[in-house]
Structure 1
Amino acid sequence: AAAARLGIECELLLEHRFPEWPDTYNRGGNLQLDALLGATVLDHPAGTDMNAALAARANELHAAGRRPYAIPLGGSSVVGALGYRAAAVEILRQVDAVGFTPAEIVHTTSSGGTQAGLIAGLAIERSTVPVLGVSAGGSDEYLAPIVRALAEGVIEQLGLDRTFGPTAVVIDDTHVGDAYGVPTDAMHEAVDVCATLEGVLLDPVYTGKGMAGLIHHARTGRWSSDDQVVFIHTGGTPALFAYPDSVR
């Protein structure tokens, strides 16, 4: 949408993970919006190293005399994570205005930028509020070093002298299911509960799995009944229409 508004050509490199799935998945949801907004979609087979594919395409465009700006998966670069550094400040201001301190901030994580920005932002503000990232598609072992490096990069980029402890990066990877983008029973429940009881729409790929993690931890005693937890809804509603079976 931003590229369309500014008259910039937009190419999207996407990993075609489930070509055998129906058209509601392979042409609906975000893909329908991509087409509507005039983006060029470059499909790559499942298992492609998408970072390498992105770098190769950027090099091709450079060689052709173009000036590409390559945005990594999920926008998870230091520049991208700066947005959630600002979000951390906004959250702290809002909860202070309401008059409570969150027991934890919970969100969905996958490429690491959201969590890195939050951790960096809270460290910069000297807040002790912990952050829990519920993975939608990656193990703790894989994601934690990425999050830590990005968070350190945000602090360095801002030229600040702040640190965060070795336990600041907390990732729950038990709600991924079979793979990124593959629904789980807990996700179905989370999407249904939030829609029917709260009027809040979650998506099957991302926020639904994050909320499934929050529900699980609430049930199993991570927080007391007096605790107040902040859940960050990162969007994704169009994906509901690519997964009609998520409405049950």
Structure 2
Amino acid sequence: MKIFLLTLMFLIMLVSLQSCMNKTSSNKVAATTATPTPAPGFTPGSVDTGSGTGTGSSGGTVDTSCTAPGTGNQPFDYYTLPSIIAHGKSSGVVAWSSATDPRLQTPTAQNMFVTDARFQVRVLAHSSPGKAIDTYNNVCTMEALPYTRLQVKVGLKLPGAATYFSTYTFDYTNNAEIDVNGCSPSHSFTIPPHTGPLVVEVMNAKWDYSCTWDKAMGVPESSSSYCPWGLVWVHDCYEITLQVATDYTKGLP
């Protein structure tokens, strides 16, 4: 009888242990595959035509190829973050950051930048916003200038990091400069292991207007230090849209 009771107790302990292991395993799977709550207002792939008032190359209508639905079987489309209006900055100075954009200061909004592996970025360029208010509520004091193309550099940081783990410049050397009312090719970043939302930053915005101005002043293009590109002037503003695809969205087309 004693042996029977000991055997029965041992079997009960084994069943309980197996149940706990299954529960722990189930919880781990749920934690790694759960889809974050979509960031409100930024999905699915909303179309932004920009607020620009300048004389852009396409008359203010965004090319339809830049707003086509995403690819793949995920239930909702890539994110579109419209109306990023920024001032020109010196080289290397951040003009916009996902960590400081006033529209993104909630955990739900930051879900836009949560991913384990895939992180694609595409940039749309809009004509000059002129005397607008930038994303950080600073006044753009100059009249709209008719730039027709933009270049920008995008950097990615891990949460809490001081330096970028990856950067990419959407420029002519990568065949990725952006026509006004058009979009760049999408770029796929390689993402290291991490937890939490990535930080996306924009800097080194350049336009073709500096070259246009120099030529209007009689400076030959071959002699101009601003041709074909120059940094956007610090008192002027430009406008872009960012599109972002993650593990939890369709891919950028």
TM-score range relative to shorter protein: under 0.3
Higher RCO (CA 8 Å, separation ≥ 6 residues): 2
More helix by share: 1
